[in-house]
């Protein structure tokens, strides 16, 4: 599902962009946008929720970024993935999400299987209003592990996602499974 919503202002005092080039949003800008969108109760309530699968609508992010409002039924998640050369941020708007991430820089090309070192796993629990920003090639999975409560979150990326790499993981072994392009998820 993809529905376009009007853009949120990038800051309370934002002016119309001039014909000059607009600066690329930083991780902090993306996180601030996601926090404002997550606090917009009308926007959050407008997301249709499906008990069986994730739902999403595309939002207009700041300065040409890509943004999404995502609904997470109980027990759903993304699987392990990265956002290639994009930086990003996400904020939980309702419910609670878990993020499992790797605190290690992985090679970006020419590998199919890696054995991860001990100590690279990080886990965060993000309840409503909490979020995080991340850099390029950040490998993670996001989960709603609640047995009975939907979660909703706002995500923003810059530059707009050129691709996503999907991984499988068995113990310390991470395997590249698939490369998705924007036309695969829009």
Q: What percent of the chain has pLDDT over 70?
A: 88
Q: What pLDDT score was predicted for residue 104?
A: 86
Domain boundaries, the chain: 27-184
Which phi and psi angles does 144 have, rounded to 5°?
A: -105, 95
Tokens of 63: 């300065």
**What are residue 15's phi and psi, to 5 degrees?**
-105, 165
The answer to whether 34 and 134 have CB atoms below 8 angstroms apart is no
Model pTM score: 0.86
Q: Which residue has the tokens 């050369």?
A: 85
Evaluate if residue 7 carries a pLDDT over 70. no
Phi, psi of 62 (to 5 degrees): -70, 140
Mean of per-residue pLDDT scores for the chain: 89
Bigger pLDDT: 140 or 3? 140
Nearest partner of 88 among 76, 73, 70, judged by Cα: 70
At 93-136, the pLDDT tens digits run 999 999 999 998 888 778 899 999 999 999 999 999 999 999 99
Q: How far is CA 30 from CA 43, 46, 93, 120, in A?
A: 17, 21, 15, 25
* pLDDT grade for 15, boundaries at 50, 70 and 90: very low
pLDDT of the residue at 105: 82
Give the dihedral sign, CA 176/178/90/171: negative
Q: What is the pLDDT of residue 183?
A: 86
* CATH class belonging to 27-184: mainly beta
Q: What is the CA radius of gyration of the chain?
A: 16
SS3 of 173, please? Answer: strand
Average pLDDT on 136-165 reads 96
- The confidence score (pLDDT) of residue 135 equals 94
């Amino acid at each position: 599902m993809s529905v376009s919503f009007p853009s949120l202002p990038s800051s309370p005092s934002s002016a119309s962009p001039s014909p000059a080039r607009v600066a690329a949003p930083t991780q902090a800008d993306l996180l601030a946008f996601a926090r404002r969108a997550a606090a917009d109760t009308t926007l959050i309530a407008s997301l249709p929720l499906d008990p069986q699968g994730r739902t999403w609508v595309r939002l207009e992010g700041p300065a040409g970024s890509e943004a999404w409002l995502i609904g997470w039924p109980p027990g759903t998640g993304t699987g392990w993935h990265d956002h290639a050369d994009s930086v990003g941020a996400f904020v939980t708007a309702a419910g609670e999400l878990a993020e499992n991430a790797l605190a290690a820089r992985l090679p970006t090309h020419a590998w199919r299987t890696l054995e991860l070192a001990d100590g690279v796993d990080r886990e965060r629990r993000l309840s409503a209003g909490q979020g995080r920003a991340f850099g390029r090639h950040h490998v993670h999975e996001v989960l709603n592990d609640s047995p009975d409560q939907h979660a909703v979150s706002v995500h923003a990326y810059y530059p707009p996602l050129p691709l996503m790499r999907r991984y499988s993981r068995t113990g310390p072994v991470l395997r590249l499974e698939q490369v998705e392009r924007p036309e695969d998820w829009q």
